[in-house]
Structure 1
Amino acid sequence: MNLLVSKQEKEVPKKIDTFKLFDRLGIIFVTLGLGILFTILSSDFFTWSNIINIMRQTSVSAILAAGMTFVILTGGIDLSVGAIVALAGVFGVFLSLHVAAPIAIIGGILIGALAGFINGILTAKMKLPPIIVTLGSMTYLRGIAYIITGGYPLVLTAQSFKDLGSGFFVGIPVPIYITAIVFILSYIVLKYTTFGRNIYMIGGNEEASRLTGIKVESRLTWVYTISGLFAGLAGVILAGRLFTGQPNIGTGYELDAIAAVVLGGTSLAGGVGTIVGTLFGALFMGILSNGLTLLDVPYYWQLVIKGAVIVLAIYVDRIRRKNAKL
């Protein structure tokens, strides 16, 4: 009997480890599998120019997803990032017409951080539901972008601003370098800093975190500020790529960011997830869009498929949480 019990005790950890390993690495295999599928279906997919194109097109949504990871890890949500992209791009281009391009770029990024800070104050200090706060800010921030432009796109003329979104360095688009820096810094913060550990603890149990001395309100305010900062960065990059500041840009970007985060293994309930998983989740969404376009799938059918992927991601998260409790 003792030998039987001992054998069972040894086998249980192995099963748990196997599940955790698949949970962490599953999105990597799925993303690679999707790439292989499109390589078979389209001869234009697996080419150097198209791979670079995918990475460049994914850069904006990936940066948004990085910021969204911080928020969702705390059990929150940020529906305003698409509107912040529009506002930051419009504000940055507007400033570039009056001041030096570097100052305009910084201004666009900071306006995004300010919007995120306000979301954080309303959520953490005033205890308002994140979904309501960010839904409201999604509306008024886009309204501000329309006010700045009068409803018309602003044309970007500063070349250094354009280079931020469309320039190249050693044959690689600048946005790819910026995305890499964002994810490296995010990885270091989440894995090796007290702030990062606090985020996981808050997502796991906010009240227990408060009782252990963690300044929950301060941490949550910073989390939403980071999300706004990254959205502001994504906004000026997109403006540099399009050569314009458009108040209607960024619609639906928040859904792509959330899908990337959840597909990457971060739980909507908070406390579980990795920034590396988010990166592969964003790549999955980018590969999916690119592959469907190469296969001449109509845009409205692409929306249907993307929507199904988002629903599937939420379902997978539910199954993941259910298995984690077993």
Structure 2
Amino acid sequence: MAQEKSKSNFSVKNFILKNNTYLILLVLFIVCSVVSRDFLTLSNLVNICQQYASTVIVSIGMLFVILTGGIDLSVGSIVAIGSVLSAYSLNSWGWGVVPACLISLLVGTACGTFTGFLVARTDMAPFVASLAMMTMARGIAYMISNGSPIMTPVNSISVLGTAKIFSWLTWLAVIAVIIVVAAWFVTNYLSFGRITIAIGSNEEAVHLAGINTMPIKMATYAISGFCSAIGGIIACSRTGIGSPAVGNGLELDCIAACVIGGASLSGGVGSPVKTVVGVLVLALIGNIMNLLAVPSYPQDVIKGIIIIFAVLLQRVTNKTTN
């Protein structure tokens, strides 16, 4: 009897440790609901979806890079390029919304691919390669815009940012969900996803298996650049302005979301669904602080504390389950 009870307790403990990300979100959601009456209103929940849709998408791109054991510091700057280039194409070139979005996606993907080339082909450290791209991409965004925000034509791309399928469901949320589902499918059912995770776990073993890791690593950075460009298009659609300053510091939020979601910065561990949960944790913190009229600086302190707590919890989980 004692052995059965011990085994039962152990399974409960494992369940809690394996699902700690979801439990953190649940506890935080309950706390927010109790602290503020405005939190559970439909308008507030829709606002959270609108505001953090781009963060979810960019974080998914970041996750693919982190799964290989890399890091991409350029995502915020590529978001700026996507935002500015979309607005510039609409305003100065007179292009339609679709061509403007396509050119932004193409340039964003090209920026990510170049970073991936530096990492995979020249063996440059991901931190250094993405740092260089972060600087260059931000500079390009300022060059395109001449350092000033670019207004978009009325009723053009801004329609995407405000359009709703129902009163509670926005197109931006739908786009985010589609990308998350696609990422989940890739990481769980396609060989590309399995190899990506294997590279982060043990790249040497992947080499010995006869698999060329270079195109896979380049592709993960290309995916990150593509997702960042989508984030830029969304930012432009929500405000109707292409700003070279948008996305500043976004890379840190995306890394934090991945880490809170259980991704290992050493590579090989991470989940698209849990990354979304990580974004929601940060979203709830920011939202409840705004509802309580707390200044932005304490929010950064609390985010830092949560990141530390998440990493420590991840280490405890790994030690317990291994």
Contact 1:59–1:175 under 8 Å retained in 2 = yes
Partner of 1:236: 233
Structure-1 separation of matches of 2:120 and 2:8: 38
Q: TM-score, length-normalised on structure 2?
A: 0.93
**Local SS of the residue matching 2:19:** helix
Q: Does 1:309 align with 2:303?
A: no
**Local SS of the residue matching 1:205:** helix
Q: Does 1:124 align with 2:124?
A: no
The structural deviation recorded for 1:11 is: 7.2
Partner of 1:135: 131
The structural deviation recorded for 1:38 is: 1.1
**Local SS of the residue matching 2:39:** coil
Q: Does 1:25 align with 2:19?
A: yes
Partner of 2:58: 64
Residues 45-73 of structure 1: CA distance to partner in whole angstroms, max 9, x if unpaired? 01111111111111111111111111111
The structural deviation recorded for 1:321 is: 4.0
Partner of 1:45: 39
Which of 283, 286, 291 is residue 286 of structure 1 equivalent to? Answer: 283
**Local SS of the residue matching 1:312:** helix
Which of 258, 267, 277 is residue 255 of structure 2 equivalent to? Answer: 258
Aligned length: 318
Contact 1:24–1:265 under 8 Å retained in 2 = no
Unaligned runs of 5+ in 1: none
Q: Does 1:82 align with 2:76?
A: yes
| Counterpart code for 1:42 | S
Which of 63, 67, 77 is residue 73 of structure 1 equivalent to? Answer: 67
| Counterpart code for 1:212 | A
C-alpha spacing 1:44/1:235, structure 2 compared with 1 (3 Å): same
Residues 91-115 of structure 1: CA distance to partner in whole angstroms, max 9, x if unpaired? 1111112111110011112211111
For residues 123-272 of structure 1, the aligned pairs below 5 Å read 123-157=119-153, 159-171=155-167, 172-272=169-269
Structure-1 separation of matches of 2:186 and 2:13: 26
| Counterpart code for 2:16 | F
Structure-2 separation of matches of 1:21 and 1:160: 48
C-alpha spacing 1:13/1:194, structure 2 compared with 1 (3 Å): farther
Contact 2:262–2:310 under 8 Å retained in 1 = no
Contact 2:66–2:264 under 8 Å retained in 1 = yes
Q: TM-score, length-normalised on structure 1?
A: 0.92
**Local SS of the residue matching 2:310:** helix
Contact 2:18–2:317 under 8 Å retained in 1 = no
Unaligned runs of 5+ in 2: none
Contact 2:259–2:310 under 8 Å retained in 1 = yes
* Aligned-pair Cα RMSD in Å: 2.1
| Counterpart code for 2:241 | T
Residues 192-228 of structure 1: CA distance to partner in whole angstroms, max 9, x if unpaired? 1010111111111001011112221110000000011
Contact 1:123–1:130 under 8 Å retained in 2 = yes
Contact 2:97–2:157 under 8 Å retained in 1 = yes
Residues 92-148 of structure 1: CA distance to partner in whole angstroms, max 9, x if unpaired? 111112111110011112211111101100001111000111111111110110011
The structural deviation recorded for 1:229 is: 0.4
